[in-house]
A and B are shown apart, each in its own frame.
Chain A
Amino acid sequence: MTRGMRALGGAALLMAVWALALLASVRWGAVGLSTAQVMQALLGEGPGTAVTIVRELRLPRALQASLVGAMLAASGATFQALLRNPLADPYVLGVSSGAAMGAVAALALGGPWAQPWTLPWAAFAGAVAALLLVLALASRAPSGWDARTVVLAGVGVSAFGGAVVLLLLSFVRDVETFRAAVLWTMGSLAAASWTSVAVLAAYAVPGLALLWAGGRALNALSLGEDTAAYLGVRVVAVQRTLAAVAALLAAAAVALSGVIGFVGLIVPHAARMLWGSEHRRLLPVAALLGATFLLLADLVARLAAAPGELPIGVVTALLGVPCFLWLVQRRARP
């Protein structure tokens, strides 16, 4: 009973922290608003500019930050368990830059593939291609993957994907190249709209639910494929399904917000430190923490260089790279 109460209390606390971060994100910006003004604007009252700022700009942006953070964090936690590798996340694995490649290629082709609802699938194709390439490079007989080779291959594919994206962008003349380049290499939430929030939610809700349903299988798989099989997991089918769902979540996030690194790496580790590694608890906790983390990172990105803004990937990388290097050296010297 007490364990159940503690979990419930923890969930309530995380929700409250996320809600506060959401409020902060809507209040602060180039124009500061009071909580009362925000509440009025949400109801459609008060000055028209405040209503527009809150309802059309800041709220969709804050919700997009939340969704993208949750998707990247859950995707990272899943990849870490599937590969039994604490260094895995969609960015390090090259999945994000593969997704960016797919999305930019679709945009360059134009037509039906460049619509907001279909763009995630183009990104997904790139993400899966990158993931398969990395896994093929790092596969080790008879089964499993070498942890260090996965990271090396992922970093290689990531760098290559980034270069291809910039190459493609340099041929596309009808977009504002520099802004687009920032979006596809460092991430940006500046283009958030209610449409993009709806698209993200359409991928996030079933995707996160599927990963959560696979939580017990992830527990088993994190102990090794043999152990998982002996506990009754259909190893290959479950691995493929969960990897595909995690890649799709990352791809949808990248398709609408660009490549935002290290969220999927550091958030699951923070969640594990707080709530342990049991994936049915870990996945929701990581998703909520990821949402909160990206809201705060976006707030920093908007406030630090106001009235301009930093690419959000710069903020997450400044926080994420030291964490990544710490994990690397801890792993090298156990």
Chain B
Amino acid sequence: MLLVAGAAAGATVAEWVVERVRFRYPGATRAAVDGVTLRIAPGEATALLGPNGSGKSTLLRLLLGRLRPQEGRVVFADRPLERWPRRVLARWVGVVPQEEETPFPLTVRDLVAMGRYPHLGPWRRLGPRDEAAVATALRSCDLESLAERPIDALSGGERQRARLARALAQEPRALVLDEPTASLDFGHAMELFEVLHGWARCGATVLFVTHDLNLAARYAQTLVLLDRGRVVAAGAAASVFDPGILEAVYGWPVRIVRHPGPGPDTGVPQVLPLRPGP
């Protein structure tokens, strides 16, 4: 009985199931993503980790339907990804890309309002419901005072927040972020992750790619470590942060320490790369 109820509920949750997915770029000698199987669970945060060139970005593009797997399949919310029309997928999944080109700077408000695109037809104006979603997104990213500024007049961190607000204005059930803290100082990085944490707690699926192992350990319930296109470890930080595995993947000696606290992170494993020498 419980199993049946679980399956019925599964039809409406933003969950990715990835089965033996393989993708090789034309002309490349090895596959960028090589037989990856994993599940990205709803209602929690998942971090994709791995050194440069480990296939994180490629896997992200496969999960978002920008690349088609050559083998295996990606299923999102019980439907194979290739059967999701782009517009419908954009109502479910909001994406915060890394720095994007802005040859013709829009205002922050216009940028955030673009998040309503999947909810609007070509001839329709923004309705009260759309305006409300934009206002909420601006507020939750603390952008109200910057709303009329052109985005090229903003700092890198503010632009990042504007892109997050745009994704929130989509009112998605899943948020995907590509290296969201790359241009942020730690105060803004913590702030961003607190917003994401709140979202995951409300039942949204959060998936992010990052190089910051320690932030990942603190905010993600599941860590997925990639190396040369394969998943080498997946699970809670305590199991993924094995010095042997990390040293092999990153090619650098590390020590694992416990977060001294106080706060909810007390005792969470953290990675300290060591310096060579006696």
Contacts and interface: CB of A to CB of B under 8 A. Distances in A.
Interface string B40-75: 000000000000000000000000111000000000
Given A219-B110, A230-B95, A233-B117, A277 B100 contact: no
B186 interface: no
Interface stretch (A23-31, A93-101, A184-192, A220-228): A220-228
A80 interface: yes
Interface residues of A, number: 27
Contact of B110 (A214, A232, A276): A276
A303 B25 CA distance: 61
- Determine chain A's interface SS by DSSP, over half rule: loop
Nearest to A222: B104
B82 to A, nearest CB: 13
B12 to A, nearest CB: 20
Contacts, number: 81
A193 interface: no
Contact of A227 (B25, B88, B100, B120): B100
Interface string B12-34: 00000000000001000000000
B277 interface: no
A85 B103 CA distance: 7
A109 interface: no
B66 A226 contact: yes
Interface residues of B, number: 33
Contacts of A227: 95, 97, 100
Contacts of B106: 219, 276-278
Contacts of B110: 219, 276-278
A227 to B, nearest CB: 5
A126 interface: no
A268 to B, nearest CB: 9
B115 interface: yes
B100 A220 contact: no
Contacts of B120: 216
A234 interface: yes
Interface string A74-109: 000000110011100000000000000000000000
Contacts of B115: 231
Nearest to B98: A226
Nearest to B107: A276
A223 B101 CA distance: 5
B114 interface: yes
A230 B164 CA distance: 13
Contacts of A231: 90, 114-115, 117-118, 166, 170
12 contacts: A85-B103, A216-B120, A219-B114, A222-B103, A226-B95, A230-B95, A231-B118, A232-B86, A232-B89, A232-B118, A276-B107, A277-B106
Interface of B: 25, 64-66, 86-91, 93-95, 97, 100-107, 110, 114-115, 117-118, 120, 122-123, 150, 166, 170
